[in-house]
Amino acid sequence: RKMAPVADFPGVWGKATATIDWCEENYVVTEYVAEFWNTISNLAMIIPPILAGVKAYQEKLETRYLVSFLSILVVGIGSWCFHMTLLYEMQLFDELPMIWGSCIFVFDLFHSFTPPKYQNLPMILCLVLYSFIITAVYISIKNPIFHEIAYAVLVFTLFFKSLDMLRRPNSSRALFFTALATYGTGFIIWNLDNFFCNNIREFRGTLTSPLRPLTQLHAWWHLLAGLGTYVHVLYSIQVRCSYLKWPGKVKTIVGIPYYHVSKSVEKNGPVHKD
């Protein structure tokens, strides 16, 4: 499936080999980046998880949350490389971590109300097996719709589990609905970009240069889906900390939210601060 012509202008990365090319005109801003705005918009999936990962490490949160932030970072870097080059190898670097990372998020949610250090080994095995099977089949058939369906299965699993967790005392409705609204808006925009690409391109051509980037809807998808996913991890942390009775709250640094846990960890385990 193609969203737009494979190459509008030649660039340093040569002929596009990816199975998808999005609606942004290629090599317009610079010959070094195929889809400029679709590339730099991935900063929304690079900067916040780095900051939150450092904070999670400093506050000694459970390792799975460090891995969750790392998975967002990997998707952001992979997506950057994909949209910069439009090479098939970089497309896989973007899309396959979406599957593996979402499985990590599923693991997080289903371990929200378990004792510390508890590991549901059958679930881990199922998630790893699912990721391996999707990876092998997708590399074999190279059909983007297959990847989208496999990813959607995980997204809906996360949605319904997160919704169920709202029934628990002290689960943050604000974080959940912020994540849902942000990601959901991005998903709507992603579909508009896919189905109305020609119309969007025509409209873009009528605008002055400073306004044209605002019509790069796939870039908006990166911003909104990336931030929505990030906030959802904060929601997962908040629910987990509430269960463990670790007091905490959302704080910001340079405008980026993160979940601050008011506790210290000593040799004998977590100890609440006054």
* pLDDT tens, position by position, 212-232: 999 999 999 999 999 999 999
Q: What does the CA dihedral 86, 88, 92, 94 come to, rounded to 10 degrees?
A: 0
- For residues 225-255, one letter each, b for 16 or more C-beta atoms within 10 angstroms of the residue's C-beta and e for the rest, the string is bbbbbbbbbbbbbbbbbbbbebebebeeeee
User: What span, in angstroms and rounded, lies between the C-alpha atoms of 35 and 27?
Assistant: 6
Q: pLDDT tens-digit profile of 199-215? A: 999 999 999 999 999 99
Mean pLDDT by 10 residues, the chain (274 residues): 51 93 94 97 98 94 97 98 98 98 98 93 97 98 97 98 93 97 98 97 95 98 98 98 94 94 55 38
Tokens representing 237? 């942390």
pLDDT of the residue at 271? 41
Exposure on the CB side of residue 202, measured as CA atoms within 13 A: 4
pLDDT at 264: 54
Distance of CA 79 to the CA centre of its chain: 10
User: What is residue 106's predicted lDDT score, i.e. its pLDDT?
Assistant: 98
* Residue 188: per-residue pLDDT: 98
Residue 250, H or E segment: strand 248-253
Position 34 scores a pLDDT of: 97
Q: What is the pTM of this model?
A: 0.91
Q: What is the pLDDT of residue 94?
A: 98
Structure tokens of 20?
Answer: 């998808």
